[in-house]
Amino acid sequence: MRSTRSSLAPISLALIVVGLLSGGACWAAGSDSAAGEAGGMFRWRPFLGPFHSLVLHYPIGFLTMAFLLEIRSLRDVSVERRRITRLVIWLSLLSGLASAGLGILRAGGGGYDPKAVSLHRWFGLSIPVSTLMALFAQSVSFRTPGHRGWLWTYRGLLTVTLGLLVTGSHLGGNLTHGSHYLTQHAPPFVKTLLEEDSEGLSPEAHPSPSPASGTAASAHEALRSKCIRCHGPEKQKGNYRLDQAESARRGGESGKAAIKPGDPFSSELVRLIFLPRSHEDAMPPEGKEALTPDEIATVIRWIQEGAIFPDDPPYDKK
C-alpha cells in the first residue's frame, strides 16, 4: 500500500502543476482581453507568449539527456544513474508543462494556420502526458526490480515520448519557419525526391501573364524570400497574407490597403518597408533580413505597373 502511494506521488504533483499552469494561462488570456477592452492595462499574452520559443528548448534537452542515460543503463546498471535520470525526466516534465502553457498563449495571438496550430497543440500536450506516464512506470520499476515488464514499459514510454517530442518540435518549426525550411536549400535531387515544388509567389511555379513579367517575377521573388515566411499560407502575422492577390492588396489588422495598384506610395506595404529598422512596425522586422535597395525599387516599380499577381489578369490602367 505504501509503495502504491509513493508511486502515485509524481502524478499528484504533476496534476497540481498542470492545474497551476492552466490557471495561469487562462488568467493571462483573461487579463489580456480585459486590457484590450480597458485600453490602459498591461497585456500579458503578447509579453509571455514569445517566451515559448525560449522555454521549449529545455524539455528537448532534458528528455534527450534522459534517453541517452537510459541507453547507457542497458549495459551498466547504476543506482545513482537511475536517480539522475529520474531527476532529468522530472525537469523535462516541468519545463514541458511550462512550454505548453506559454505555447497556448502564443497561439492565442493568432497569425497562424488553425489546422497546423491544432496539430502542434495536440502533440505539445501529449508530450507532458507521455512523460508523466514514463515517470510512473519508472517509479514502479524501481520498487519492483524483479518485474522487468515495468522496466521495459518505462523504456518504451520514454522512447515514445522522445518520438512525440521530435514530431511536435518539427511541427512547431513549420509554424515558425514554414514547412520547407529544412529542405529549401537542399540539393536538387533531394527536392525532386521529396517533391518539393515551388509554391506561393515563386515565379517559376506561376509565370506571370503580364508583359512586365520580368519586373513581376523579380518582385515576387523578393517578397517570397523576405516576406512569405511570416505572411504566407502557413503563417499570417497581423492577419496579413501576401501570397494571394486579394488578401495581399486588402491588407491585415490595420485596415489599410496594403497594395494600391498603380500608386506605390499610397500603399501601406511600401510605407512599412521604408520605416527605420528599429521601428516596431518595420517590415521585415528587426532581426530579419531586410529587402535590399534594388528589391525595394523592384517592388515599387511592380506596384506602379499594376501589382500583377500570378493568379489575376494584367492590371489595366484607365
Give the three cell numbers for residue 64.
Answer: 534527450
Domain extents in the chain: 2-177, 186-318
Q: What per-residue confidence (pLDDT) applies to 191?
A: 65
Q: Record the pTM.
A: 0.58
Task: Identify the pLDDT of residue 62.
Answer: 93
The C-alpha cell at 1 is: 500500500
> pLDDT tens digits for the chain (318 residues)?
444 455 455 555 555 555 555 555 554 445 454 444 444 455 676 677 778 888 888 999 999 999 999 998 888 878 888 889 999 999 999 998 888 888 888 776 666 667 777 888 888 889 999 999 999 998 888 888 777 888 899 999 999 999 999 888 888 877 776 666 676 667 776 667 665 444 444 444 444 444 445 788 888 888 887 787 778 777 777 778 887 788 888 887 777 888 888 888 888 888 888 888 778 787 877 767 788 888 888 888 888 888 888 765 544 443
Centre a 10 Å sphere on the Cβ of residue 243 and count the other Cβ atoms it contains. 24
Helix (DSSP H) and strand (DSSP E) numbers for the chain: 12, 0
Residues whose CB falls within 8 Å of the CB of residue 284, separated by 6 or more in sequence, listed in order: 226, 227, 230, 290, 291
